[in-house]
Structure 1
Amino acid sequence: MASPENTGQTWHMKITSVFWSRLREHPLARVGPGLITGVADDDPSGIATYSQAGAQFGLNMLWTMPLTFPLMAAIQSMCARIGRVTGKGLAANIKLAFPPSILRGVVALLLVANILNIGSDVAAMGEVAELVIGINRHAMTIFFVIATLLLQVFVPYHRYVVFLKWLTLSLLAYAAVLFTMHVPWGEVGLKTIWPNLSFSSDAAAVVTGVFGTTISPYLFFWQASEEVEDMERKWGGVALKKDSPSANAELRRIRWDTWSGMFYSNITAYFIILATAMTLNVAGITQINTAAEAASALKPLAGDFAFLLFAMGILGVGLIGVPVLAGSGAYALSEAMGWREGLELKPADARGFYSVIAISVLAGMIIQYSPVSPMRALFWSAVINGVVAVPLMAVVILLASSKSVMGDLTAPRSVIILGWIATAIMGMAAICMLLPG
């Protein structure tokens, strides 16, 4: 006869098994890497940029989201395709197809930019948590850092990713904010298509910031590597180049997953610009430095509920954005160095990979205790991303269109054309960002 203790353990195991089974069976759990990649793009740093666009220029910056959507989706779909077709991450493919100096330069700049971005993200999360629950921001930052590290290092990714996918629902908070205020939808639609925007250095800076935070290098590496993770778990590590019967269905899945994930990301950014335009800009508040400032400024204008929704959205996407930033750098460096990598591996089996994650997150946390302000860290992160993005996008397009890399599964011509348009626009944005004044 089983003891009460053993009976309790058996029931606990059954309940746990049913819990994970139900989570995995939910439609949200079957969505691919595109959703998480898209939501990670709306991290606290991105929210600060979109909030500044809405606060400074009102409805006249809404046009940037319809424009960036197809460009961002085209680049990300190529990254996903590269990972699934070749069975290797983006850095591993660059290593095979380009000189070592290109890979080393890109990975080094990516790591620096990611650490600076993590620093600004975790600082914003600590500030928002202090606003919501009153606990010291530094203590809350440490809590978020430890929580994300423990999850990434000690929880297998196929379980951890379920929580990330549920956290993507936090972006709906920004749509909900709009229900707390009156929105003149006719004017919104008109300004989206035909903005009343005169060219100036301030406008160019904000447009550059919006493009830079929407099309970011760390997302390229993350999505390609997560397609590889999914391939190894679901398909036994067989790349599409070696499994042509599965190619059409898998490429359709990638196309739907990526374009829907990027649409979710961009429509949310659109809502953030709209919400801050209808509140902060109307009230004459035109300067926002952090996402926490935007949430705090909303409180007296739109009420406690709008403030809480906005704040919870920041925390939710921060818990996705920080692991993606740290993970993308770890994948890139591990592939460049030939280390074992993957969030399904145990720490002892991928020491270098997990060390990069830990160092990135901890270094980002230390920024808030250093003389470097989180906003200064964000600025330099944007500059580095702007420098890296343009040549990296060109490399992605060349890889995705190369038969020697992709076999017969190269990217469609329409996607390639959109990719080159995106690269040209990002190039102009980078030039604007680097020009003095």
Structure 2
Amino acid sequence: MDDAHVGDIRGALGTIRLDDTGGRRGLSAKVKTLLAIVGPGLIVMVGDNDAGAFATYGQAGQNYGTHLLWTLVLLIPVLYVNQEMVLRLGAVTGVGHARLILERFGRFWGAFSVIDLFLLNALTLVTEFIGITLAAGYLGLPKGASVVLAAGIIVASAFTGSFRRFERVAIALCAASLLLVPIYVMVHPATSQMARDFVVPNMPGGAGQLSTVMLLIIGIVGTTVAPWQLFFQQSYVIDKRITPRFMRYEKADLWIGIAVVVIGAAAMMGFTAATFAGTHGVGNFSDAGGIATGLEAHAGKVAGVLFAIALLDASIIGAFAVSLSTAYAIGDVLGLKHSLHRGIGGAKGFYAVYAGLVAAAAAIVLIPGSPLGLLTEGVQALAGVLLPSASVFLLLLCNDKAVLGPWVNGPKTNAFTATVVGVLVALSIILTATVVFPGISANAILQILAACAVAGVIVAGYAFTKRRTGTKDDPIDRTGRETWRMPALATLTKPVISTTRKIGMGALRTYLLIATILVVIKIAQVALNH
């Protein structure tokens, strides 16, 4: 491990000394420990309620009321299981997600994963600055100065050479995300309708709008379960020096983050639905700036200003997380020193990647005539297409006994995660089809879903049969988990990948590559008015 990743845990809200090995028996001691640990789960969750999320949740509320709230409930277990696996990988291995993929699956797969992440993160960062311009425009602030100032804050917060200072800024921004709650109170949407839509799945608009609604649902999934989250939290857990001993506290941190993100998303759908109900704005979503204007007309200037400030806050914390995720991954792959505990002189490459991404995204937004709306839609589409990729590698790594030892997945976690991957593949195929063929019918979408369901049943049946007839695995010995850490990567035996798994991984990668190319071509055609 990098020596910067070993030492005291210096969190925004407390410190745990490296030699502090005593038990936490009283409530006060447990609360103090939790406060010191809080950060990775909270930041990764709130960071995903970014500018793109504001647009997606706002569109859902403005165009379809609260009828899609049920999607948030379904996403809660997906969010937890995905992020619990990466925090486990980080705490147990001390190695970033990108480097684990590179070392355990080879340069070919490692390169593909990091290239995917880099391109998608770069585009996502542009959408964060688009959110900044929309918020600044509503508040009457000059666009250029606002973008430059925001970029300066994003870069300066990470360049202090102090992990604690960065985390304090990030957690303050997370707290500011709760500004969405008073907006909800000011607008006071119908609570009974929201409660019903949380628990009763609904596909608004009927068969005629199935393709449009499906695209929005995929957008909600894509903006809530983003690939960068996996790379960010694993590296951030390592950078914060969290070990398996504090796993329970880190899981609590993750649940806090999930609660904040779901409350924010639900509040946004709720107050947007109430704001535009019965107006000409229903079904005519434009952007997050339009939501601020609608709130002002419905609930007063204060509501509009609070929303614009919340959008600005979300864009900045999203930019923090996405930039750090990329810098950590590049540092992993290229062997650069990468830690917020180091000053600029001690990790020049790491900070150069971080600052370069922020500067490039800010510059693109300031170019006159840039197709900002199209960029936002394109990022959402690409995120949806690439959803399955990161989850597959995550599942494989969490079943690698050499890497996780007594911390490997159990059968229930594997079954759930495999189901999630199957659903993500189906959603990715539907999204690709609707982007490439905009006139696709509802019947064709249902046929795609049916074909994916049949394929899923066949694969599950094959896996079950193989498991029943194959060699039984030894029971997982979970003893001594709190002190077990992965040995040095160089000492581990390379995993043996079966022919069936290679074919499956190759087929998935081929599909994702073709789908990405088709989506990019389609976006370029739209940009050129073809």
TM-score, length of structure 1 as denominator length: 0.87
CA distance in 2, matches of 1:282, 1:66: 27
Distance 1:420 1:22, change over 3 A: closer
Instruction: Provide the residue aligned with 1:201 in structure 2.
Output: 211
Shift of 1:376: 2.0
Question: What letter corresponds to residue 258 of structure 2 in structure 1?
Answer: M
CA distance in 2, matches of 1:230, 1:215: 23
Could you report, residue by residue, the CA deviation over 1:401-430 in whole angstroms, capped at 9, with x for unpaired residues? 221110111234443333223222222221
- The question of 1:70 aligning with 2:77 is answered yes
CA distance in 1, matches of 2:293, 2:318: 21
Q: Which of 180, 184, 189 is the matching residue for 1:183?
A: 189
Distance 1:157 1:374, change over 3 A: farther
Question: What letter corresponds to residue 357 of structure 2 in structure 1?
Answer: S
Superposed, 1:113-192 pairs within 5 Å as: 113-132=120-139, 134-192=140-198
CA distance in 1, matches of 2:182, 2:277: 19
Tell me, yes or no, if the aligned pair for 1:41 and 1:214 is still in contact at 8 Å: yes
Query: Secondary structure, in 3 states, of the residue corresponding to 1:341?
Result: coil
Question: What letter corresponds to residue 398 of structure 2 in structure 1?
Answer: A
Shift of 1:342: 1.2
Superposed, 1:310-329 pairs within 5 Å as: 310-329=307-326
Q: Which of 360, 365, 369 is the matching residue for 1:363?
A: 360
Question: What letter corresponds to residue 160 of structure 2 in structure 1?
Answer: F
Superposed, 1:5-24 pairs within 5 Å as: 24=14
Distance 1:62 1:282, change over 3 A: farther
Superposed, 1:365-384 pairs within 5 Å as: 365-370=362-367, 371-384=369-382
Instruction: Provide the residue aligned with 1:213 in structure 2.
Output: 223
CA distance in 2, matches of 1:367, 1:414: 45
Instruction: Provide the residue aligned with 2:102 in structure 1.
Output: 95
CA distance in 2, matches of 1:362, 1:289: 27
Tell me, yes or no, if the aligned pair for 2:324 and 2:354 is still in contact at 8 Å: yes
Tell me, yes or no, if the aligned pair for 2:133 and 2:143 is still in contact at 8 Å: yes
Tell me, yes or no, if the aligned pair for 1:128 and 1:292 is still in contact at 8 Å: yes
Tell me, yes or no, if the aligned pair for 1:112 and 1:381 is still in contact at 8 Å: no
Instruction: Provide the residue aligned with 2:276 in structure 1.
Output: 280
CA distance in 2, matches of 1:165, 1:21: 10
Alignment RMSD, CA only?
2.1
Percent of aligned positions that are identical: 25
Tell me, yes or no, if the aligned pair for 2:59 and 2:285 is still in contact at 8 Å: yes
CA distance in 1, matches of 2:188, 2:161: 44
Superposed, 1:244-255 pairs within 5 Å as: 246=245, 250-255=246-251
CA distance in 1, matches of 2:410, 2:270: 34
Instruction: Provide the residue aligned with 1:13 in structure 2.
Output: none
Instruction: Provide the residue aligned with 1:9 in structure 2.
Output: none
Tell me, yes or no, if the aligned pair for 1:39 and 1:168 is still in contact at 8 Å: yes
Tell me, yes or no, if the aligned pair for 2:129 and 2:315 is still in contact at 8 Å: yes
Distance 1:161 1:196, change over 3 A: same
Query: Secondary structure, in 3 states, of the residue corresponding to 2:291?
Result: helix
Shift of 1:149: 0.7
- The question of 1:340 aligning with 2:347 is answered no
Instruction: Provide the residue aligned with 1:386 in structure 2.
Output: 384
Structure of higher RCO (CA pairs closer than 8 Å, 6+ residues apart)? 1
Query: Secondary structure, in 3 states, of the residue corresponding to 1:408?
Result: helix
Query: Secondary structure, in 3 states, of the residue corresponding to 2:240?
Result: helix
Tell me, yes or no, if the aligned pair for 2:69 and 2:269 is still in contact at 8 Å: yes
CA distance in 1, matches of 2:12, 2:98: 35
Instruction: Provide the residue aligned with 2:395 in structure 1.
Output: 397
Greater CA drift, 111-120 or 186-195 = 186-195
Query: Secondary structure, in 3 states, of the residue corresponding to 2:337?
Result: coil
Shift of 1:93: 1.0
Question: What letter corresponds to residue 220 of structure 1 in structure 2?
Answer: L
Distance 1:215 1:157, change over 3 A: same
Could you report, residue by residue, the CA deviation over 1:104-146 in whole angstroms, capped at 9, with x for unpaired residues? 11211211111111112112213212322x2211210111001
Instruction: Provide the residue aligned with 2:255 in structure 1.
Output: 259
Tell me, yes or no, if the aligned pair for 2:99 and 2:333 is still in contact at 8 Å: yes
Distance 1:411 1:331, change over 3 A: same
Query: Secondary structure, in 3 states, of the residue corresponding to 2:159?
Result: helix
CA distance in 2, matches of 1:385, 1:215: 9
- The question of 1:81 aligning with 2:85 is answered no
CA distance in 1, matches of 2:348, 2:96: 18
Q: Which of 414, 422, 426 is the matching residue for 1:424?
A: 422
Distance 1:426 1:22, change over 3 A: closer
Tell me, yes or no, if the aligned pair for 1:72 and 1:215 is still in contact at 8 Å: yes
Distance 1:433 1:228, change over 3 A: same
Question: What letter corresponds to residue 403 of structure 1 in structure 2?
Answer: K
CA distance in 2, matches of 1:260, 1:424: 28
CA distance in 2, matches of 1:282, 1:273: 16
Could you report, residue by residue, the CA deviation over 1:354-381 in whole angstroms, capped at 9, with x for unpaired residues? 1111111111112213444222222232
Question: What letter corresponds to residue 265 of structure 2 in structure 1?
Answer: A
Aligned residues: 403
Instruction: Provide the residue aligned with 2:52 in structure 1.
Output: 45
List alignment gaps of at least 5 residues for structure 2.
1-9, 16-31, 439-530
Tell me, yes or no, if the aligned pair for 2:12 and 2:168 is still in contact at 8 Å: no
Tell me, yes or no, if the aligned pair for 1:124 and 1:290 is still in contact at 8 Å: no
Instruction: Provide the residue aligned with 1:301 in structure 2.
Output: 298
Higher alpha-carbon Rg: 2
Instruction: Provide the residue aligned with 1:222 in structure 2.
Output: 232
Instruction: Provide the residue aligned with 2:514 in structure 1.
Output: none
Tell me, yes or no, if the aligned pair for 1:126 and 1:139 is still in contact at 8 Å: no
Distance 1:21 1:364, change over 3 A: closer
Distance 1:123 1:154, change over 3 A: same
Query: Secondary structure, in 3 states, of the residue corresponding to 2:189?
Result: coil
